[in-house]
Amino acid sequence: MRYCPVGKDDCLLLTEVESLEHDCLRLKALAEIDALTGLYNYQYLIKVLGLEMERTIRTGLPTALIMIDLDHFKQINDLYGHETGNLALKAASAVWTGNIRRLDVACRYGGEEFAIVLPAARLHRALMTAGRLRKILEASPVDAGDTKIFLTASFGVEVFEPDKFSSPESFIMSADEMLLVAKRAGRNRVYYGGAGEKAAATALSLDEKEALLGRGEK
């Protein structure tokens, strides 16, 4: 049986164990990352959203969620091919990660849909973040060789309410419903339709009110 003498720091077995622990941590981290975009994946989204929901219940600090869907993404794949579609997904992901706070968590929900968890963010911050991301994406064409592809996206915003959402999945479903309304209303816009809309509007700037009411997000 192999063993390390007490107090001997240069033991080969100890080095092997430390290497295995490092590999396990690296594999665990990779298991939470979407290979194409480098964003966190669905499993991590569920985990972090559950933690933030618990934090809201415990501390009263708000948690907001933005669901995003790239508009007409199937047309990009059909017209330019899946490799170009992958470039578009990577470009959109770079917009999200480059324009959110360090504590915000950007995830790939699946396909061309994304989710951003905003800890300690009230409605007005979530709306302004979504509006800013929408405008930056629209102004950031993807360089696909001989052509530039202009992307737009639709955004659904929701804020966690302990008496309304019993799980991360129900929270996501509500934000996704807001996203679907944005898409049905013409795409390339931000939508929020929660019960707190009227109260929230009293504390918002003009730009924030327009984002909340759907004006200016065309």
DSSP state of 139: T
Q: Which of 32, 52, 54, 112 is catalytic?
A: 112
SS3 185: coil
User: Which of 98, 129, 100, 104 lies closest to 119, judged by CA?
Assistant: 104
DSSP run (H or E) holding 63: strand 63-70
Tell me the C-alpha distance between 91 and 167, whole Å: 31
**Residue 3: burial class (beta carbons within 10 Å; 0-12, 13-18, 19+):** exposed
DSSP state of 86: H
**C-alpha to C-alpha distances, 191 to 78, 123, 203, 212, nearest whole angstrom:** 28, 12, 18, 7
* 112 is known as an active-site residue: yes
Catalytic site positions: 112
